[in-house]
Amino acid sequence: SAVISQKPSRDICQRGTSLTIQCQVDSQVTMMFWYRQQPGQSLTLIATANQGSEATYESGFVIDKFPISRPNLTFSTLTVSNMSPEDSSIYLCSVQRDRGREDTQYFGPGTRLTVL
Amino acid sequence: AQSVTQPDIHITVSEGASLELRCNYSYGATPYLFWYVQSPGQGLQLLLKYFSGDTLVQGIKGFEAEFKRSQSSFNLRKPSVHWSDAAEYFCAVGATGAGSYQLTFGKGTKLSVIP
C-alpha cells in the first residue's frame, strides 16, 4: 500500500482567492491523480498529474482553474484558483505505484474546502 | 465511455444481518472493478478489487464481491454486518488507458446499521 498525506485537511476560504493543496506520498509512485467530491456526490477525476510535464485534464476541467504541479515522484499540488462557492468540495489525491500493471489506486484523506 | 450504476442510494440493515450492495457497470471490454468505502470525514479505503481470474473476490473486513459478466454486475456482500460497517460504499470501474487505468465511480450507497 501507500501512505498518503494531504495538506491542509480542511480550509475555509473567501471567494476570489486561491488555495493550493499538497499531496505527499511515502514512496515513489508512477501515477498521481486528483479527484473532486462535491457535497453528497461521487468522485470525479479532475486530472492526472504528470511528472515533468503538464497535467492531463478531464473534460470540464481546465488548467487555468486547477493548475497542477508534480515536481517529483512523491509530491504533487493542486491549486483551486479564483474560488467560488461552487468549488466547495472534498479534493482527494490518489496514487498508483506502477504504470502498466494491475496495481491498486490508493487515496489520500482528502482536503475539505468551503468557499464563502 | 464507461459508467457505473449503484441503484440503491441508502440501505438500512440490522446488525448481524446479511448485506448485498448492487453495482452495475457499462464498459466495452473486460473491466477492472473496485469497491471502496468512505467513513464520515475520511478518505476512501479499498475493500476489494477484480482485475482478472476468479470471479469471486475476497476483500478486507469480511467483504466479498462477485463479477458476473453476463449481468455486468459486481455486487458487494457481507454475511453479517457490524455497526462499524456504517459508511458510504462506492463501486468503481477502471477503464484501461495508456499504461494505467482511470476510475469512474458510481454515486455511492450509504449504509446505515441498526443496533
Chain A touched by B36 (CB under 8 Å): yes
| C-alpha of B18 from chain center | 15
Interface membership of B32 toward A (CB under 8 Å): yes
Query: What Å distances lie between residue A61 and A9, A48, A67, B10, CA to CA?
Result: 22, 11, 10, 30
Query: Does B97 have pLDDT greater than 70?
Result: no
pLDDT at B50: 92
- Among A residues 22-41, those touching chain B with beta carbons less than 8 Å apart: 30-31, 33, 41
Task: Flag whether residue B99 sits within 8 Å of chain A, measured between CB atoms.
Answer: yes
Identify the sign of the CA torsion A111, A90, B102, B25. Answer: positive
> Which residues in chain A touch residue B43, judged by CB atoms under 8 angstroms apart?
4, 92, 107-110
**Closest to B10 measured CA to CA, from B115, B93, B86, B91:** B86
pLDDT top residue among A42 and A66: A66
What number of other Cβ atoms are within 10 A of residue B51's Cβ?
A: 17
Q: What is the pLDDT of residues B56-89, one digit of tens each?
A: 999 999 999 999 999 999 999 999 999 999 999 9
The minimum CA-CA distance between A82 and chain B, rounded to whole Å, is 25
Q: B-chain residues within 8 Å CB-CB of A41?
A: 107
A15-44 mean pLDDT: 94
On the question of pLDDT at A54 being above 70, the answer is: yes
The answer on pLDDT for B99 being more than 60 is: no
At B101 the pLDDT is 78
CA B37 remoteness from chain centre: 8
